Amino acid sequence: MKRVKKENDPQKRDDGSSFSSLSEDLIIKILLQLPTKSIPKLVVVSKLWSSIIRSKQFIDLYLKLSLTRPCFLLSFHRDSIQFFQIKPSQSLEAGSPSSSYTCTTSSYPLNLDTLSYNVYPPVCGLICFQNLDKVVVSNPSTGQFLVLPKLNTRRKGISRFLGYDPVKDEYKVLCMTVLQTSRKVVSEEHQVFTLGGGAEKKEKEEATWRMIKCKVPHCPVPKVKELCSNGLVYYGAWSNNKGKRSLIVCFDVTLEEFTRVKLPDGVEIVRFGSVLVNYHSKVALANHTDFGKFDMWVLGDVVKQEWSKISVVVPSWNDLVGRRDYFSFRGVVSSGKFIFASVYWRGPFSVISYDPKEDIAKRVEIEGLGDTLRSVRLYLDHVERPIIL
């Protein structure tokens, strides 16, 4: 009986299993062809498979392949459950000036009392959001999530950002609380939580929040999502210095240091109208993008803090949007196309794709999501990474 139980137990399959006849290279080739959601389940096949799946070599190979096929990530709220859905970018960008795309990929329910507008943009495959008084990190490609320990604070107002250090292969969650007095509003209690990239587990004593110093007095602007690029996290902020109402703060994920990025003269961060995007690997800021005509400022040199302006005019905007819908700019995908998504709409959720080279704009309706959606958010150039949380 014991022998039969051992053979049927996937945790105990090793050299006696039929999988032992496969070489390590062949196993890696098989795993690279599988959907991300299936990979965490296969760690129980054998010790060898578990070792391969958790190795930095395999995770990097899978990420490299995923970078060639970036996806759109949708988050939406239905029946008090958070869902995430991944779509091929090419499917949404293709089609005639007015076409539809049927959603067929699977969605992942997270049984948490979170709201979809709390979800921050994905960073190298992971996302971060707040669930009541808890900070949560999730891998939407696998459906897994990790609830981080409680922050070292008694305050309720918390700003949170997710960053990735490609050199050390580490994710870091940056949180800060906001102190408001009669004279100023400033961020305080800056804390960092470090997660490994999946290949190695952190020591238990390291898995805690650490207080760090911030020498740049500022307060993050609500509703303006951050941008992580090349190991740096950028986010909009208000300054307490006289004559400088708003700025961009840059957080170095490796050094855990803050620097101030000055905005062009006359440009301000708008709470409900600003968006930070990745424009050909450079940071860009756009304001008031809901009418298809706006200026976008591109940060060409972070050290010299030099900005250049790009004027965007989407052709036939009114015809594409219609009278009852409301669209806003979401960013620029790796192909160079500008993407706008529905904010308020009737009927299927829609996306507008604008190609500045061809000066052509298209609207694509996303069918199959259901009719009871709330707070839909679209994130661009999401990559799938089989990290086990």
Q: Give the global pTM.
A: 0.86
Q: d(Cα 383, Cα 231) in Å, to the nearest integer?
A: 16
pLDDT band at 143 (very low <50, low <70, confident <90, very high): confident
Query: Tell me: the pLDDT tens digits for 106-137?
Result: 556 665 555 545 788 899 999 998 877 788 99
Residues 70 and 147 in one domain: yes
Last residue of a domain, one of 54, 75, 96: 54
Q: Is residue 388 part of a domain?
A: no
pLDDT at 303: 83
Residues 9 and 132 in one domain: no
Residues 23 and 143 in one domain: no
Contacts of 18-22 with CB under 8 Å at 24 or more apart are 19/45, 19/46, 19/48, 19/49, 20/46, 20/48
Residues 269 and 372 in one domain: yes
Residues 307 and 271 in one domain: yes
Residues 32 and 179 in one domain: no
CB atoms inside a 10 Å sphere around CB 82: 27
Using a pLDDT cut of 70, give the percent of the chain over it. Answer: 77
Residues 77 and 16 in one domain: no
Residue 94 has pLDDT above 70, yes or no: no
Domain of residue 146, CATH code: 2.120.10.80
More confident residue, 5 or 209: 209
Residues 126 and 39 in one domain: no
Pull the structure tokens for residue 20.
């032992």
Q: Could you say which DSSP state residue 123 is in?
A: B
Tokens 């459950």, residue located: 81
Residue 154 has pLDDT above 70, yes or no: yes
Residues 221 and 80 in one domain: yes
Which domain does 37 fall in, by range? 2-54
Provide the number of structural domains found in the chain.
2
Q: d(Cα 328, Cα 309) in Å, to the nearest integer?
A: 19
Q: Is residue 389 part of a domain?
A: no
Question: Across the strands, what pairs with 40?
Answer: none
> Do residues 155 and 167 touch, judged by C-beta distance below 8 A?
no
